[in-house]
Amino acid sequence: MKRKSFIGLAALAAAFPPAPVKPQENTPVRSGRKALILVGGADRGAYEAGAIQALTQVQGVGDGQPLGFDMVCGTSIGALNGFMVATAQYKTLQRLWRSVIPSRDVFRLKKQFNAIQEPESGILDRLAAAFTLSSGLVKNVTGILDPAPVRELLAEYVDPDAPSYLPFYISTTNITRQTHELFVRRATTASGRAKQSVNDALLASSSENMRIADDLLLRNVLFASAAIPVLFDPILIPREHDPQTLDAYVDGGVTQNVPLDVALLCADSLNVILVSPARVDVNEAYSSALDIGLGTFYTMQARILAYQIRLAYALGEAKLPFTAYEIRPARELPGGGADFSNQAVRETMWQLGFQDMVRGWVSFTPPANLPFDSTF
């Protein structure tokens, strides 16, 4: 039975490049190749982790054994999860979501803003903190959250020396150059290198902005992929051919929360783990600036996807055929996206992801006609 999916469909349709690359003679074919795509969603990454755990059991693989895909693509929290999949560290991934992350204050305000949310703070202290924030946002404050907890987590659990079993593509947004940018973490094992070489050949003529996430850049690239604008400071990364110049990067979800373009060029089976239901009547209430920031970000992503699907259908028939499969929750997941410390909520999302993957991937067929005034 096929489920109706509008937001998932929007993301998949948006993967069609406006000018597909025609395979050259002796270029490997993409037929029969599979891509795993992991989206952003802040604390909803717990749902992805549960789905990945079920997938390892279904495929009968353990740590040090790759899942049956030819590549992994990830954005934001999906990039952190994707790194664990590409390096076949499934136990570490589950430990992160079921014990480590709930015990860390990942979304922590910078010290100068703490008084805003502390009821025990005096009114003058809270006013002073609010004034500091409001004036800083137009002068010298580029993010309100302390980056230290995220950097500590990455330093502790992202090991650049870990073998890479699958080619891994990380979605980021370069706001200095105002463009979407992909980083590739190249596979290092024998089987992984074989898949990497096929990808390299298929992407040789691509116009994608892509560079290597080497050992020195890896943690910064993963942080950049998840650095929600205004909440986190932009992450500074040296330019590839001009290392003295630093470009500012933010969350890959700003430009492409479902990183499918590169997958579509390399595979004809796209397996996407999404963290929101197909279509819901949202009636969200916000209790803090952090919640408002996330709500604004998610609204922006939904609208971008809506315009992308309209454009994709306006362009006509796709030149790169593919089959799409997805796993997604049937209803809105608990939590507001920012509450990483609520272990009960994290565990609920993990279990939902696990159960949905056990039920199996769901395929769908795009509707024959899509009116331009549709909402998603």
Give per-residue pLDDT as tens, 146-198: 899 999 999 999 999 999 999 999 999 999 999 999 999 999 999 999 999 99
Give the pLDDT score at 341.
79
Kind of pairing between the strands at 34-38 and 168-174? unpaired
Which tens digits make up the pLDDT trace of 80-122? 999 999 999 999 999 999 889 888 888 888 877 665 555 444 4
Report the pLDDT averaged over residues 125-129.
Answer: 45
pLDDT at 353 over 90: yes
Rounded alpha-carbon distances, angstroms, from residue 282 to 46, 276, 295, 296, 372:
21, 11, 11, 13, 21
Which is higher by pLDDT, 282 or 122?
282
Which of 99-103, 309-313, 363-367 has maximum average pLDDT? Answer: 99-103
Q: What angle do CA 106, 107, 109 make, to 5 degrees?
A: 125
Q: How confident is the model at residue 53 (pLDDT cuts 50, 70, 90)?
A: very high
pTM value is 0.83
Average pLDDT, the chain: 80
**pLDDT classification of 18: cutoffs 50, 70, 90:** very low
Q: What pLDDT was estimated at residue 324?
A: 81
More confidently predicted of 43 and 341: 43
Residue 23 confidence class, pLDDT cut points 50, 70, 90: very low
- pLDDT value at residue 134: 52
Cα–Cα nearest to 36, from 370, 373, 368, 361: 361
Predicted confidence band at 32 (pLDDT cuts at 50, 70, 90)? very high
Among 132-146, 215-229, 252-266, the minimum mean pLDDT is found in: 132-146
Q: What is the pLDDT of residue 25?
A: 55
Cα separation, 105 vs 117, in Å, equals 14
Question: Does the pLDDT at position 367 exceed 60?
Answer: no
Measured CA distances, 76 to 64, 169, 222 (Å): 24, 12, 7
Two structure tokens written together for 114: 């703490």
CB-based contact 50:333 (threshold 8 Å): no
**Cα–Cα distances in Å, from 89 out to 62, 94, 96, 289?**
8, 9, 11, 35
**CB of 10 within 8 A of CB of 305?**
yes
